[in-house]
Amino acid sequence: MTTTLDGTLMRSDLQHPLITKVYRGKVRDVYTLSDGRIILVASDRISAFDVVLPRGIAHKGQVLSQLSWHMLGLTRAVAPNWALAQPDPNVVIGHACATVKVEMVVRGYLAGHAWRTYSEGKRVLCGAALPDGLKESDRLPSPIITPSTKADEGHDEDITPDEILARGLCSPEEWDTMCRYAHALFAEGSRMAEARGLLLVDTKYEFGRAADGRILLIDEVHTPDSSRYFYAEGYAERQAKGERQKQLSKEFVREWLIANGFMGKEGQQVPTMDDAFVQSVTDRYVELYERITGQTFAPAPTGDVNARIQKALVAYLG
């Protein structure tokens, strides 16, 4: 069953003889093929505080999919990745991998969860040491990796490298490889962002084991769902004055929910997202796409998104 609401794709329902399994995450629908590939469909669902919000965001899936495909292509020389083709604006097809149950969160600035931890007086986050005397949004002396467990259900949790190895989530060699790739990807992502007038604040990378045993970068890369960006213009001045930084990320959705009394806690009601707010979310996603790629966003037809994807899938797979 597919659901289209206000021109959005809330759930895909693709049919093909090669499809053997379907998994639906908070935002993506993942189809496993019998030939060792997967189809990753970016829906227009949006989640915050591990809750999928009731209304979709028009073109959000297209933005995430096209931006990720763009970034996967540009960073392929930095770290090998899973992606093979993009037959539709909402779809990426690539190698099926066994997910390493660790999210590699790289931080170049003291923001978000890292700042909240720091402001409580803690100076070690996931085994990474933080110096004294920092303010919110300050640039760190050098980027740090603060890994978290990748939970199938519920909340991800902070974890240290020693705990990762002790629990057997990956081998020491795999950990070293993921660290090397994560730092290299963050350096390249930062360079590309700065060229477009943005600062890559923090981001998460996910890795998987390919059939041949190689560690590959999987999922999305440098999108507003996985990354936080500051505007470079005026950054130093705002820091000097103690002002909040202007950012381009999904954080503003979380802030809106908090302001409306929702943080995903038991008993809390998801606030109603009116048309104006939903449109503002679309506008922010499109802005990031255009800022980070330097390309004008071309909206794909939204009449029957599932049918459009199905047609593209048949044309590509045969």
pLDDT in tens, 111-134: 999 999 999 999 999 999 999 999
- Give this prediction's pTM: 0.90
Tokens 């499809």 correspond to 19
| pLDDT at residue 2 in the model | 39
Q: Is the pLDDT of residue 153 over 90?
A: no
Q: Alpha carbon 179 to chain centroid distance?
A: 18
Mean pLDDT of the chain: 92
If pLDDT is split at 50, 70 and 90, which confidence band does 224 have? Answer: confident
Let me know whether 23 and 89 are in one domain.
yes
Question: 27, 46 in Cβ contact below 8 A?
Answer: yes
Nearest to 286 by CA among 73, 109, 101, 44: 44
Q: What are phi and psi of 235, to 5 degrees?
A: -60, -50
If pLDDT is split at 50, 70 and 90, which confidence band does 4 have? Answer: very low
Using CA atoms, how far residue 36 sits from 47, 92, 96, 98, in Å, is: 29, 14, 6, 11
Q: Please calculate the CA angle 264-105-40 and round it to the nearest 5 degrees.
A: 75
Q: Is the pLDDT of residue 58 over 50?
A: yes
Q: Is the pLDDT of residue 69 over 60?
A: yes
pLDDT tens, position by position, 163-193: 999 999 999 999 999 999 999 999 999 999 9
* β-strand partners of 4: 9
If pLDDT is split at 50, 70 and 90, which confidence band does 31 have? Answer: very high
Give CA–CA dist 11/9, Å, rounded.
6
| pLDDT at residue 151 in the model | 64
Using CA atoms, how far residue 251 sits from 64, 123, 230, 235, 306, in Å, is: 15, 24, 11, 18, 28
| pLDDT at residue 206 in the model | 97
Give CA–CA dist 211/157, Å, rounded.
28
If pLDDT is split at 50, 70 and 90, which confidence band does 6 have? Answer: low
Q: What is the CATH number of the domain that holds 231?
A: 3.30.470.20
243 inside domain:
yes
Give CA–CA dist 180/18, Å, rounded.
35
Let me know whether 216 and 125 are in one domain.
yes
Let me know whether 167 and 140 are in one domain.
yes
| pLDDT at residue 152 in the model | 60
The residue with greater pLDDT, 291 or 16, is: 16
Q: Which of 66-75, 109-118, 250-259 has the lowest mean pLDDT?
A: 250-259
Let me know whether 67 and 121 are in one domain.
no
Q: Domain range for residue 223?
A: 99-248
Let me know whether 85 and 180 are in one domain.
no
Q: Is the pLDDT of residue 77 over 70?
A: yes
Let me know whether 89 and 113 are in one domain.
no
DSSP β-ladder status, 98-109 and 198-209: antiparallel
How much of the chain, in percent, has pLDDT values that exceed 70? 97
Estimate the share of the chain in helix, then strand, then coil, as percent rounded to the nearest 5. 30, 30, 40
Let me know whether 142 and 227 are in one domain.
yes
If pLDDT is split at 50, 70 and 90, which confidence band does 59 have? Answer: very high
Let me know whether 116 and 239 are in one domain.
yes
pLDDT tens, position by position, 284-315: 889 889 988 999 999 999 889 999 999 999 99
Q: What one-character DSSP code corresponds to residue 138?
A: P
Let me know whether 110 and 230 are in one domain.
yes
